Amino acid sequence: MALLDDVLFSLRITTTSNTKLNQEITRYINAARLDLIKTTNINDFNVEAADDLLKDAIILYCEYMYEREPSRKDSYKKCYDDLKTKLLLSGNYSSLGEINNA
Q: Does 11 score more than 90 pLDDT? A: yes
Q: What SS3 state is found at 94?
A: strand
Q: Which long-range contacts (CB under 8 A, 24 or more apart) does 45-54 make?
A: 47/3, 48/2, 48/3, 50/3, 53/83, 53/86, 53/87, 54/87, 54/93
Rounded to whole angstroms, the Cα distance separating 54 from 28 reads 14
For the segment 22-27, the average pLDDT, to the nearest whole number, is 94
Q: What SS3 state is found at 54?
A: helix
Residue 77 neighbours by CB under 8 Å, 6+ apart = 64
Which residue ranges make up each domain of the chain?
A: 3-101
Q: Does 37 score more than 70 pLDDT? A: yes
**DSSP structural state of residue 42:** B
Closest to 36 measured CA to CA, from 64, 11, 51, 57 = 57
Rounded to whole angstroms, the Cα distance separating 77 from 65 reads 9
Q: Read off the pTM.
A: 0.85
pLDDT in tens, 66-80: 999 999 999 999 999
